[in-house]
Amino acid sequence: AQKVTQAQTEISVVEKEDATLDCVYETRDTTYYLFWYKQPPSGELVFLIRRNSFDEQNEISGRYSWNFQKSTSSFNFTITASQVVDSAVYFCALSDPYGGATNKLIFGTGTLLAVQP
C-alpha cells in the first residue's frame, strides 16, 4: 500500500530562517512521483515541486530546495530565508502513474509552517 508520513504537525521559524519540512513515503512500486503542495488559508492547494523516482538529483528553485533519498524513502523540502507569506500548510504527496493509470495523489497529513516576523 502507498502511504505518506509527515511527522511534523507544526513548525515555527523566525523570518529569514530556513525551514525544512520532512516527508517519508511508502510504496512497492519502482516508478512513482513525489510532490509538494502548499495550502494557504484561502484553501487552494498550490503545486510547488514534482520529482520522479528515477531522478534523485537534488535541485534548488529560487528559495525552494528538496532532498530526495530513495534509500531512506524521504523527500524533504526546504524553504530558504523564509518569509511571513510562506506561512501555510504544506503537503507531501505520492503518485503512482501505473497504479490504475489514474495518477491520483496520496497525501500526507500536512505540516503547518508558521513564520514569525
Partner 1 sequence: DTGVSQNPRHKITKRGQNVTFRCDPISEHNRLYWYRQTLGQGPEFLTYFQNEAQLEKSRLLSDRFSAERPKGSFSTLEIQRTEQGDSAMYLCASSVGGLGNTEAFFGQGTRLTVV
Residues engaged in binding partner 1 (CB under 8 A): 4, 33, 35, 37, 42-47, 50, 52, 91, 93, 95, 97-98, 100-110
Q: Give the position of cell 502548499.
A: 38
72 SS3 class: helix
Nearer to partner 1, 7 or 14 (CB): 7
Nearer to partner 1, 12 or 109 (CB): 109
Nearer to partner 1, 44 or 117 (CB): 44
Residue 111 beta carbon to partner 1: minimum distance, rounded to whole angstroms: 10
Name which of 97, 19, 7 is nearest 65 in CA terms.
19
Residue 18 beta carbon to partner 1: minimum distance, rounded to whole angstroms: 24
Residue 86 beta carbon to partner 1: minimum distance, rounded to whole angstroms: 18
Burial of 73 (0-12, 13-18, 19+ CB in 10 A): middle
Q: Are 57 and 65 in contact (CB under 8 A)?
A: no
Residue 70 beta carbon to partner 1: minimum distance, rounded to whole angstroms: 17
Q: How far apart are CA 38 and CA 33, in angstroms?
A: 17
